[in-house]
Amino acid sequence: MLNTEQIKQIIPHRNPMLLLDTIEEMIPGESATGVKTLTGKEDFFRGHFPDFPVMPGVLIIEAMAQAGAVALLSLPEFKGKIGFFAGIDEAKFKAKVLPGDTLTLKVEITRRKGPIGVGEGKAYVGEKLVAKAKLTFAIGL
């Protein structure tokens, strides 16, 4: 398991854009399971929406991508690099993510050729699937 400080040693994200608290499981270069507990104090809840706070879908996708980036950037050949989005496909949102929820992000890298690849991400609250997407990435810098 990786804590927030260990995650920050692998990916360059910082608050307010770091959307992982821990990595619970990981096979470097292959898969990762990350967790984000939403307190309700996150900045995005103030404006999305003031009377009915909901985590924006695009940030759920970003949280998935960060979990995948931890798996990839844990490989020695990618140490110190940054993972960039190259595409998001087949994104589906199945349920709202609310303050107080614990979001579990599971990403499996399904294809990779050099610094370009594809991962399949799924986000859960408890056992309930709340979002999924295919993520195309490019490792750079």
How does pLDDT run across 65-95, given as a tens digit for each residue? 999 999 999 999 999 999 999 999 999 999 9
Q: From CA 121, how far away is CA 99, in angstroms rounded?
A: 21
Q: What is the pLDDT of residue 69?
A: 96
How does pLDDT run across 115-141, given as a tens digit for each residue? 999 999 999 999 999 999 999 999 996
Supply the range of the domain harboring residue 81: 4-140
Q: Is the peptide bond before 49 cis (omega within 30 degrees of 0)?
A: yes
- In the sheet that holds 102-113, the strands lie side by side as 22-27, 31-37, 102-113, 116-125, 128-140, 82-93
10, amino acid identity: I
Number of domains composing the chain? 1
Given the residues 8, 48, 81, 134, select the one marked as catalytic.
48
State the CATH number of the domain containing residue 108. Answer: 3.10.129.10
Report DSSP state, residue 73: H
* 48 given a catalytic annotation: yes
The band of 63, judged by pLDDT with boundaries at 50, 70 and 90, is: very high
pTM of the model: 0.96
How does pLDDT run across 94-106, given as a tens digit for each residue? 999 999 999 999 9
Q: From CA 120, how far away is CA 88, in angstroms rounded?
A: 10
Q: What is the pLDDT of residue 121?
A: 98
Q: Which residue stretches of the chain are H helix?
A: 4-8, 43-47, 57-73
Q: Tell me if residue 72 falls in helix, strand or coil.
A: helix
Q: From CA 70, how far away is CA 73, in angstroms rounded?
A: 5
How does pLDDT run across 6-41, given as a tens digit for each residue? 999 999 999 999 999 999 999 999 999 999 999 999
